[in-house]
């Protein structure tokens, strides 16, 4: 250790190296590669299954190749987000240190504990990188995702690579920001699947058998809005604040004499800071769209009121 600072309650020594020790660094790289490969293979299996099923239908009822691909893409996202959500729930609520991870850490005024340590949560960053390394090319070339989602994938890769491989990883917030956040994506994936397959006769027949399933689309919209606004905006904003503050502090620390960090690494931290801001602005943008949709729904109901009484 070469550089040190006086903190609120103790003296903290900065790491002399930017990256994690060799064993942990290689483990993260393996986890990134394994995640991308497993998700890619899972997607191909789902695509093959849906394609085979589609080919058995009569010609008039068959979906186009792009529709089948989009369905396989949505199902893969659903399964990955479900994994993140379940694992994050365990870490945040069942794990013995859940208090510190879920909300206790947002009350900690010691900035440096928000930046360093907690290498046990590297897995969140590594799997997110692998997931988005798969999503990015597939989303651009085949799924034709909109620019905000492409920006989201790139920002996540830049940020989470740091989380998985560097001492400057902000991992104390990884279970919440990289895990709990994805819970809201589960109902979103179901919503998108139902919307894109609303004319599928087999799906309509299956849903029509259950009163519960008949209202599934509306239920998923309500659950998605509740989870997104509750987890990503209300509970998530303090976590985002600490990671943005941590990235800014990291840039200042890396400029200290004796820290041994070069300009390129400081540039990476700056890109992480920029990516965190972009992601947060995207969250606010999507939250605005959700609120706009809620207000529109209530206004349309009010507009129908007099007609019903007439």
DSSP the chain: --EEEE-SSSEEEEPS-SBPPHHHHHHHHHHHHHHHHHHHHHHHHHHHHHHHHHHTS-GGGPPPHHHHHHHHHHHHHHHHHHHHHHHHHIIIIISTTHHHHHTGGGG---HHHHHS--GGGHHHHHHHHHHHHHHHHHIIIII---HHHHHHHHHHHHHHHHHHHBS---GGGHIIIIIGGGGGHHHHHHHHHHHHTTT-HHHHHHHHT-HHHHTHHHHHHHHHHHHIIIIIIIIHHHHHHHHHHHHHHHHHHHTSTT----HHHHHHHHHHHHHHHHHHHHHHHHHHHHHHHHHHHHHHHHHHHHHHH-
Question: Domain for residue 309, yes or no?
Answer: no
Q: Is residue 153 one of the residues assigned to a domain?
A: yes
What pLDDT is stored for residue 209 in this prediction? 67
Contact 180, 89 (CB under 8 A): yes
Q: CB neighbours of 98 closer than 8 A, spacing ≥ 6? A: 91, 92
Q: What is the mean pLDDT of residues 75-95?
A: 87
Does a structural domain hold residue 307? no
How many C-beta atoms lie closer than 10 Å to residue 270's C-beta? 15
The pLDDT value recorded for residue 47 is 95
CB-CB neighbours of 232 under 10 Å: 25
Residue 308 has pLDDT above 50, yes or no: no
Question: Does the residue 308 lie in any domain?
Answer: no
Task: Give per-residue pLDDT as tens, 90-133.
Answer: 887 777 665 556 565 666 677 787 888 888 889 999 999 999 99
Count of domains forming the chain: 1
- The whole domain housing 160 covers 3-299
Please tell me the distance from the alpha carbon of residue 17 to that of residue 125, in angstroms, as a whole number.
19
Cα angle 300, 306, 307; round to 5: 85
pLDDT of residue 260: 56
In a domain, 132, yes or no: yes
- Number of Cβ within a 10 Å radius of residue 107: 8
Q: Is 304 contained in some domain?
A: no
Residue 226 scores a pLDDT above 50: yes
Q: 178, 163, 129: which is closest to 246 by C-alpha?
A: 163
The predicted model scores a pTM of: 0.81
Q: What is the percent of the chain with per-residue pLDDT over 90, rounded to a whole number?
A: 29
CA gap 172, 118 in Å, rounded? 6
Domain assignment of residue 102, yes or no: yes
Domain-embedded: residue 306: no
């Amino acid at each position: 250790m070469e550089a040190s600072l006086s903190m609120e309650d103790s003296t903290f020594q900065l790491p002399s190296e930017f990256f994690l020790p060799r064993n942990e660094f290689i483990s993260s790289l393996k986890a990134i590669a394994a995640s991308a490969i497993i998700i890619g293979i899972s997607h191909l299996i789902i695509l093959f299954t849906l394609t085979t099923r589609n080919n058995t239908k009569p010609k008039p009822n068959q979906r186009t190749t792009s529709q089948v691909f989009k369905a396989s893409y949505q199902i893969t996202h659903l399964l990955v987000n479900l994994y993140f959500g379940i694992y994050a729930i365990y870490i945040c609520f069942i794990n013995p240190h859940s208090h510190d991870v879920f909300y206790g850490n947002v009350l900690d005024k010691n900035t440096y504990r928000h930046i360093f340590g907690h290498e046990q949560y590297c897995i969140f960053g590594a799997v997110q990188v692998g997931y988005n390394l798969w999503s990015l090319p597939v989303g651009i070339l085949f799924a034709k995702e909109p620019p905000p989602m492409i920006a989201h994938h790139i920002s996540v890769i830049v940020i989470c690579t740091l989380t998985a491989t560097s001492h400057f990883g902000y991992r104390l917030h990884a279970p919440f920001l990289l895990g709990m956040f994805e819970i809201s994506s589960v109902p979103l994936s179901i919503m998108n699947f139902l919307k894109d397959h609303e004319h599928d006769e087999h799906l309509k027949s299956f849903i029509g058998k259950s009163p519960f399933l008949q209202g599934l689309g509306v239920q998923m919209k309500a659950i998605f809005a509740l989870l997104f606004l509750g987890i990503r905006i209300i509970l998530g904003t303090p976590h985002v604040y600490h990671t943005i503050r941590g990235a800014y502090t990291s840039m200042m620390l890396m400029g200290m004499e004796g820290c041994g960090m070069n300009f390129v690494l400081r540039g990476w931290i700056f890109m992480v800071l920029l990516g965190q801001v972009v992601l947060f602005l995207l969250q606010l943008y999507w939250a605005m769209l959700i609120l706009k949709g809620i207000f529109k729904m209530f206004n349309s109901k009010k507009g129908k009121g007099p007609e019903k009484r007439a």
